[in-house]
Amino acid sequence: MLLTGPEGLKSLTEAYASHSAIPGFVAYNLETVQAIVAAAEAHPTHPVLLQAGSSPFKHAGRDPLMRLALDAAATSSASLGVHLDHSRDLDEITACLKAGYTSIMVDGSHLPFADNIALTREAVRRARDHGAWVEAELGALPGDEDISTNATTTPTAMTDPAQAADFVAQTDVDALAVAVGNVHGFTTTPVTLDLPRLAKIHSTVPIPLVLHGASGLPTPQLQGALTRGVAKINVNAELRRAYLQAVQSQLPNALPGSDVVSIWTAGRQAVTEAASRIITQLSQQP
């Protein structure tokens, strides 16, 4: 079942109130879309965001992946929103909204503060015309969305609580992605979130917060985030690793017969299992 924008926003605010979180899983192709949907169907009471966004579009093509995600969500028994992740392009945002996306993330974090506000306000205006809710980002989150680069976060790159309050007031966004020590992808050293900073942001920003780069985050850190306003957790690298490890283990058996189906099947099952574990973890109150 494809959640409408208002239904998805209601689910997000309910997660915010209960100190749980909605997972946003990034999908790149048919198998990862199917895997995420299967995991969601195994947890019918917990909404899931299927994130077919800007970065995966570069691999699969915007229209094919967009239609695949929307059709999979619409025909599923699970409660699924389809979310445009990390978009910096208003034309892309408009195309996805017109196609039926239920939420979008406009990413102006690379821009000066005033320009980020301007871009975000326009994205919000367009999303409202289509009944979708909007996530924005403030603060510089290091790392790569598609490849683990062992990036680290510096204090100057983190989200400023006072600036976050100003940003939300001027843009009317529904959720805010923050930089509090989180990093895109896996790192060689454990990630340590700046939980006091996150608490300050939570106290000044009256909307749900979003944590990108949650793959491999230690459970105490994750639980600390959930009690400090985080109601949406993005997961990408953990699913990618599960897929690749399954493919690697299956290759010796598949190569002699050029059996690509067994490779795709193993990868899909591994992603389903990883996503299912994460849904269970996020549904448990700290």
- 153 to 5, 162, 176, 224: CA distances (angstroms): 33, 20, 18, 18
| Continuous segment of H or E residues that includes residue 243 | helix 237-254
The answer to whether residues 148 and 20 touch, using CB atoms and an 8 Å cutoff, is: no
Rg for the chain, CA atoms, rounded = 18
Cα gap 3→215, rounded to integer Å: 25
The answer to whether residues 103 and 83 touch, using CB atoms and an 8 Å cutoff, is: yes
**Cβ within 8 Å of residue 246, ≥6 positions away:** 266, 267, 269, 270
How large is the greatest C-alpha to C-alpha distance in the chain, in angstroms? 60
Give me the pLDDT at residue 141, please: 62
- For the chain, the residue count is 286
Q: What are phi and psi of 261, to 5 degrees?
A: -60, -40
**Catalytic residue IDs:** 85
Structure tokens at 119: 């871009």
Q: Where are the beta strands (DSSP E) in 73-222?
A: 80-87, 103-106, 133-138, 175-178, 209-211
Q: Are strands 80-87 and 209-211 parallel, antiparallel or unpaired?
A: unpaired
Of 73, 16, 19, 74, the C-alpha closest to 50 is 73
CA quadruple 222, 132, 41, 25: dihedral sign:
negative
Give me the pLDDT at residue 220, please: 87
The answer to whether residues 21 and 99 touch, using CB atoms and an 8 Å cutoff, is: no
Give me the pLDDT at residue 185, please: 53
Q: Are strands 209-211 and 230-235 parallel, antiparallel or unpaired?
A: parallel
Give me the pLDDT at residue 258, please: 85
Q: What type of residue is 230?
A: V
CATH number (3.40.47.10, 3.30.70.1560, 3.30.470.10, 3.20.20.70) of 5-283 reads 3.20.20.70
Give me the pLDDT at residue 188, please: 58
Q: What type of residue is 44?
A: P
Residues of the chain with pLDDT below 70 are 141-156, 184-190, 285-286
Q: How many CB atoms within 10 Å of residue 59?
A: 10
The answer to whether residues 1 and 79 touch, using CB atoms and an 8 Å cutoff, is: yes
- Collapsing DSSP states into helix, strand and coil, what is residue 156? helix
The answer to whether residues 167 and 117 touch, using CB atoms and an 8 Å cutoff, is: yes
